């Protein structure tokens, strides 16, 4: 029986890169987002051409009620869920210095980037534990896609950095709690990745990259992240639960 993966925010950007890699690896995929089915039809078609059975669940990751509805749709369509990729996230609407930042922006980012994935993981892993009790060989995997902003300070988007630092700790918490059930939990920490989220700062980072910001002088791609997540989702990294894989071209490596 094919493994089934849920990728939040899976219809574009990093999430679509991850979904494509998993489809190529032979998994069926559930992608989640807030856009209409018509708006994600091209993404669904591309994933189906890779051989995957695809379900699209329109849901707001910040809504716990939407979590339950989404999982009910997955149960009905597939009857199982083996992999959760917590990828959906947003940047601040306005990059504001932390001396001027608004509570509204902070609340929005925490709700979407941290609270949503935290409680989706709770709901999914309760189901994974049920599956483990029925199938002793069942091995669940959770991958949190965070950011180098979990440890690299950007004072014009402190809310984003704090939300990603929270994801880093939640990875450790869930890895600790779920190990007894054979559920591995990992964090993938991308650097500067070419997506619609980073399009507005392309000129800035083009110059920084040209001047040696990272060791590998290019933008990262969603495919770079997808290949990494695929290794984890397929269970190929054993005896390593709780670990962080940094996909940043050497940006955060200390050097003189």
Give the catalytic positions in this structure.
Answer: 160
Look at the alpha carbons of 94, 96, 100, 105 in this order and tell me if their dihedral is positive or negative. Answer: positive
Transcribe 69-117 into DSSP letters: HHHHHHHHHTS---EEEE------SS---TTT--HHHHHHHIIIIIIHH
Q: Is there a contact between 5 and 23 (Cβ–Cβ < 8 Å)?
A: no
- Reading across the β-sheet that carries 83-86, which strands appear in turn? 54-58, 28-33, 4-8, 83-86, 141-145, 184-190, 244-247
**Residue of 170, 161, 112 lying closest to 143 (CA atoms):** 170
How far apart CA 133 and CA 114 sit, in angstroms, is 29
Which own/partner contact pairs does 172-177 have at CB distance under 8 Å and 24+ positions apart? 172/242, 174/121, 174/125, 174/142, 175/241, 175/242, 176/242
How far apart CA 108 and CA 74 sit, in angstroms, is 27
Q: Cβ neighbours of residue 90 under 8 Å, at least 6 residues apart?
A: 108, 109, 112, 113, 197
**Residue of 94, 57, 47 lying closest to 77 (CA atoms):** 57
């Amino acid at each position: 029986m094919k493994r089934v993966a849920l990728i939040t925010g899976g219809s574009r950007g990093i999430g679509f890169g991850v979904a494509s890699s998993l489809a190529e690896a032979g998994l069926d995929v559930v992608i989640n987002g807030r856009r209409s089915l018509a708006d994600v039809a091209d993404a669904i078609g591309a994933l189906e051409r890779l051989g995957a059975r695809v379900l699209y669940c329109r849901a707001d990751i910040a809504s716990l009620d939407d979590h339950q509805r989404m999982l009910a749709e997955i149960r009905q369509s597939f009857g199982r869920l083996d992999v959760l990729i917590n990828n959906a996230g947003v940047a601040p609407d306005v990059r504001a210095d932390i001396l001027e930042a608004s509570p509204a922006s902070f609340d929005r980012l925490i709700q979407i980037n941290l609270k949503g994935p935290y409680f989706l993981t709770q709901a999914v892993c309760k189901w994974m534990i049920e599956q483990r009790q029925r199938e002793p060989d069942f091995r669940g995997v959770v991958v949190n896609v965070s950011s180098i902003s979990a440890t690299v300070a950007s004072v014009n988007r402190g809310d984003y950095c704090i939300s990603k630092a929270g994801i880093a700790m939640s990875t450790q918490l869930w890895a600790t709690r779920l190990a007894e059930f054979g559920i591995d939990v990992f964090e993938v920490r991308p650097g500067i990745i070419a997506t619609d989220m980073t399009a507005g700062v392309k000129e800035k980072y083009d110059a920084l990259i040209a001047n040696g910001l990272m060791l590998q002088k290019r933008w990262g791609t969603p495919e770079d992240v997808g290949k990494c997540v695929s290794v984890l989702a397929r269970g190929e990294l054993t005896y390593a639960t709780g670990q962080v894989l940094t996909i940043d071209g050497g940006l955060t490596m200390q050097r003189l």
